[in-house]
Structure 1
């Protein structure tokens, strides 16, 4: 594996390139860790290529089912920081470490709440177990009745709870037992209710804290994620050191120059290929009787690389392109339905980065048949990380034909599920006098059923495998990357689509101009290349994006 020799020494702290202006997508995904929606809501955010699943609980254990925030934070932590985890797909336009840190922070907040709830369960429940069991059965029956589509079900469930409460009062007054067992029976009826009231206060306090963090992230407030366990306080804190190394490995893999092409799914993390333009002509000497000067594909790529760095400059002061990220990529082919990826390894890889000499060898030699391929990429992160535009350039020489291919990839915004702000629970009720009118009544953040669910789950959070087996869990789509797993297509957003389409023409012309300059310097007749380039400059202005990765053969 490529990460076997990863160096975790402190070293120089270099700011990550392109990290500025990526807060919207990062904070939107991070806010999922603080949400209290039903876990099934995340299935609505799946796109056409990547599907997440929710493993259902065992029959009769729906009271142990996690909500969206609990399931999301637990799944992300396990997948991205777990020991021996599979490689991840880069999340362009986001900072995965920030998202994971928020998941850890949300998990810590809930763990503190669960510690208090566990104490409540022990003091007010386990000691008075008969009463706890009876009350839990009542709540389970009430919940089952309330799930029915019948409009009278909710009223029937409330009536059941009131009736049981009345029976409990009668039981307290006319106790059939005397002595110690009489007092114990009274306590078994009353103490679980007192414990429920205590637990309700704990749950409401935590719910308010989580919702404030959720709202702050989406409002743009840079609320920090407190993860004290990621900072070792002494050499003996192995757990903290392991967590620190896992976060460092995550950041290093995010900067990897290795990506994966999954057929119709496109390049994972960059989106599907929406356009492709190819310039292919024979290498003919400019002067008859003379040979062209030998050159390699890398010479053309290097010239294109130098010219692409000038894209942000223009003759007019009209804004134009922001500074792009220009990078050499090693693209590995995988199956369309592959469930895992494997990054390049060996002596040619250092900290997830394929070394420069290996990239040159791939560019010059691996142009036909099996193996990785080289692409030069120019990438823009726009709309606060919500739009990723990538133009990839590859140069191949087969026999006497030189081919320059430019392809456009676009990754759209994260699903709108992640950008919805918290709303205070409320319901519409009829007015007492003007019964034909309605008014809005605010509801508590945590209802009775939610308090029971959290209290019952709390003791089991000490052993997550058992809790997942009983209550269910979230299974993330593979190969997993935080950004592309829940990305929408950009073509439904008019301005995002315009940005993607407008980037193609300048890039194509710079690539062709740089390549033709190299050919002229090496004695190649560039007349046909120039004619073909002019034709492509006209064709690239076609404003219709296509599914270029889907071959209708």
Structure 2
């Protein structure tokens, strides 16, 4: 079943998804949508190539600032499902559709909370605006000075709020007005406080729900991301149908066979190139009296493809390679600092897939000069999605020289920021009669200032541009892909590094044997190819990964 624009249809949001053992990276990224950490912590997940920008908003409007979960979910949904969104980079080893669905689910939970908080703000705030403004002024002063590292400034902020509270009590007891305005002034002092207690209960119930989902995702037992707004119940629900098609489009782009090479950044989504091995020799007839039987690069690639499918088999029953994903890729070069990509278009492309005949033509003809290049990739997703190993093979023929190049790419685990679960708020204080010892004191799940922040933001969540202007947003690193944007290097993990290095030798030998077989069948003298292959088989056992894309020139 397909939708009108050619993208594959799906029924993901209609049925809650259940995680399997290979979704650690996916669920870790999805958990960010439910987190309540400060938004600045997203900077801790930056790597050498991709940095997230935190836009702070107005300095005087700190009460409108989002937390990490709010900013992350809003940014991801806007970037990946927006009407005029730019092309995305594939997220190998993860399911971006699942992450986006959790972001939509988190946004829906917060919208339901904000709807109730808006009622509280109208009943207990807007109707008693003078009192609410005074209380908000005190809360804003306290929030501003509490961010200072100076302890005296923090104490001053608390003293200001206590002073406003004392004046409010005195104002209620000894009212300078009589009649209606007297009672209105008393209620203007009392009702915002009553609204705060009401809002606190709403915020706490929602915070428990969000934290339970956060903990469940990090633990690996996924809760279903229910997105009812993406399931149209009748043909007139255009918004739901558009959202459903946007999710389908996201899934289709994830399956695209088009990739981008960004210089030292490597192939985007696959990680940097850590190793490169090249076999290049002249095509000489095995029989001098006869010419070589004509063949093309695609014939060699097709033989290599068939042999790579046998990698999971071996003479010994020792586990070995799991089933690999073997695909033909069309790779487009872009600048290292490019802020966006452009996917191939035209009659040779359908639903982000370059058609097989076009891939074959690129393999045979576009080997020198401008244009896209063809690569055959064999990819493993290991360590529950935390490690993505990709070996890329390309075959070129220039004049009488045939070159077979094998390169290794590795994408490491998701940054540790996304792996931590929620912890109950607490602090260490000195014991009353034993000041040299400390004890743990549990703090409220929702601090008083957080209740004020959520209540103030609630009425503006219906018009996000104003809220973003006041409180700020985060800008995702471009070109954006969920997986590579927050991936660490695998070389700091001993076993992950071992897996990357061990995969190179068997792949290289299979590639060379398959290529030499094709050469022999077409009357090519393979003596030099065999000698060169033996040399590379020894060189590939060097256990040191290198920055193969950084040329010392």
Task: Give the equivalent residue in structure 1 for 2:5.
Answer: 6
Q: Does 1:312 align with 2:312?
A: yes
Q: Structure 1 pair 12/525, CA: closer, same or farther in 2 (3 Å)?
A: farther
Task: Give the equivalent residue in structure 1 for 2:95.
Answer: 95
Task: Give the equivalent residue in structure 1 for 2:266.
Answer: 266
CA distance in 1, matches of 2:480, 2:70: 19
CA distance in 2, matches of 1:401, 1:268: 30
CA distance in 2, matches of 1:11, 1:219: 27
Answer whether contact 1:5 1:351 (CA < 8 A) is retained.
no
Task: Give the equivalent residue in structure 1 for 2:359.
Answer: 359
Partner of 1:90: helix, strand, or coil?
A: coil
Structure 1 length normalisation: TM-score? Answer: 0.97
Answer whether contact 1:292 1:522 (CA < 8 A) is retained.
yes
**Matches for 1:279-290 after TM superposition, within 5 Å:** 279-290=279-290
- Pairwise CA distance, 1:11: 8.4
Q: Structure 1 pair 426/325, CA: closer, same or farther in 2 (3 Å)?
A: same
- Pairwise CA distance, 1:215: 0.3
Partner of 2:125: helix, strand, or coil?
A: helix
Q: Does 1:167 align with 2:167?
A: yes
CA distance in 1, matches of 2:40, 2:547: 30
Partner of 1:397: helix, strand, or coil?
A: strand
1:398-431 Cα offsets, whole Å, 9 max, x none, are 0000000000000000110000111111011111
1:261-315 Cα offsets, whole Å, 9 max, x none, are 0011110000010000000000000011211100000000000000000000001
Task: Give the equivalent residue in structure 1 for 2:396.
Answer: 396
Answer whether contact 2:389 2:408 (CA < 8 A) is retained.
yes
Q: Structure 1 pair 9/525, CA: closer, same or farther in 2 (3 Å)?
A: closer
Task: Give the equivalent residue in structure 2 for 1:16.
Answer: none
Partner of 1:407: helix, strand, or coil?
A: strand
Task: Give the equivalent residue in structure 1 for 2:417.
Answer: 417
CA distance in 2, matches of 1:250, 1:491: 31
Task: Give the equivalent residue in structure 2 for 1:332.
Answer: 332
Task: Give the equivalent residue in structure 2 for 1:79.
Answer: 79
Task: Give the equivalent residue in structure 1 for 2:15.
Answer: none
Partner of 1:516: helix, strand, or coil?
A: helix
Answer whether contact 2:3 2:245 (CA < 8 A) is retained.
no
**Matches for 1:104-503 after TM superposition, within 5 Å:** 104-503=104-503
Answer whether contact 2:414 2:488 (CA < 8 A) is retained.
yes
CA distance in 2, matches of 1:7, 1:222: 31
CA distance in 2, matches of 1:282, 1:108: 63
CA distance in 1, matches of 2:21, 2:408: 22
Task: Give the equivalent residue in structure 2 for 1:49.
Answer: 49
CA distance in 2, matches of 1:244, 1:438: 54
Number of residue equivalences? 546
1:494-526 Cα offsets, whole Å, 9 max, x none, are 000000000000000000000000000000000
- Pairwise CA distance, 1:372: 0.3
Q: Does 1:521 align with 2:521?
A: yes
Partner of 1:340: helix, strand, or coil?
A: coil
Q: Structure 1 pair 11/121, CA: closer, same or farther in 2 (3 Å)?
A: closer
Partner of 2:339: helix, strand, or coil?
A: coil
Partner of 1:177: helix, strand, or coil?
A: coil
- Pairwise CA distance, 1:147: 2.1
Q: Structure 1 pair 11/156, CA: closer, same or farther in 2 (3 Å)?
A: closer
CA distance in 2, matches of 1:332, 1:435: 65
| Uncovered stretches (5+) of structure 1, i.e. residues with no partner | 14-18
Structure 2 length normalisation: TM-score? Answer: 0.97
- Pairwise CA distance, 1:466: 1.0
Task: Give the equivalent residue in structure 1 for 2:537.
Answer: 537
Which aligned segments of 4 or more residues in structure 1 are displaced greater than 4 angstroms?
A: 8-13
